[in-house]
Structures are given as C-alpha cells and as structure tokens.
Chain A
C-alpha cells in the first residue's frame, strides 16, 4: 500500500519506519486527498488520535499527526505533516466523527485551526482563556492571570 502511494505521489510522501512502526511524512497539500484515500480505499476506518508537536526553532513550527488503524488489516499507520504558525488544516470530521473532540483539543493546546470543523472551540480550557499551553514558549507556571482574576477573584493562579 505504502509503495503504491509513494509511486503515485512521488516526493510528496516519505514513508518511514521507526521501531517497527510505519509512518509517513506527507506534504501539507496532499493531506485532504490522502486521508480520504486511506479511509475509503485502504480501510483505515478508525482514527485513533490526532495530535501535534511544537518545534519553535523550525520554520514550519508544528507537526500534526494522525494515528490511524484499520480493523480489516489489523494495522496502524501514522500520517505526519508540517505546518507553519497561522496555517490551518482541513478538518477530518467528515471522514471520522471522532476527530471532532480530538481536533478541538489540538486547537485548545496548540492554536492550530481546522477548516470546516463544525464547532472549533476550546475543550479542556475555559472559553475565554488566552494562550496555547502545549506550545514550547508557554512556560509551565504560566497562566492567563487576567482570566483567573476575573473568574476566580484571586490575584494569580500560582
């Protein structure tokens, strides 16, 4: 399957294996088509997880990762792409309903937007919170003090 995709998309896909786990680094522009194909043609019917990693020193700061699983093949694959700050990704809610909350969490923690998401808002943090905690430039002790003062009536969350 991976060889077939590689043949078709050429340099847009780089299939890799690490510690016996398959993943592919995919060009941002191929993401919508590739995810659709993985679900429809390759039977990856279960989207396990959507997550991101922040690399502040890179030009394209974020890695976004989809972990997919196929019941028919009993196989897992990770799709990984790089995006820059402010760039958005297409939402995969039409493909896998489960990504609704998962994408909201990525937005909540990293500030990555998903186009076409039916209800993209914060999920774990309160709606009015400022800042995206899982970015590397967000300190572990940092909090949205303004929010804390208004809503909790205390000077600081620390």
Chain B
C-alpha cells in the first residue's frame, strides 16, 4: 500500500509545476504546453486510480 501512496504523493508534487510559471509558449495545437502537461497529469491520475482499484483496493465481503 505504501507504494501506492508514494505514487499519489509524487503525482501531487508534479501538479505544483512551479517550473512552468511565467511561461506561455510553445503553444501546441490550441493550448500552451503546460496545459497539456496538466491534461496528461489528470489522465495519469485516472489511470493510477484504475490500477489502484484493481490491484490494491480489496473489497470486504
């Protein structure tokens, strides 16, 4: 279980992307790159939750 919490904490730390502050370019398709970063991070979170639900969340009988 600790590995899963570590993964979620890492994803949370990645969500405070201070290194992208004050940057607006490059714009990829119709969004700045940092918005794609957030979009991918959110999708990654969904995938992480799916894996967590499948392998770590034990249902009680």
On whether the two chains bind one another, the answer is: no
**B residues apposed to A, CB below 8 Å:** none
Chain A residues within 8 Å of B, Cβ to Cβ: none
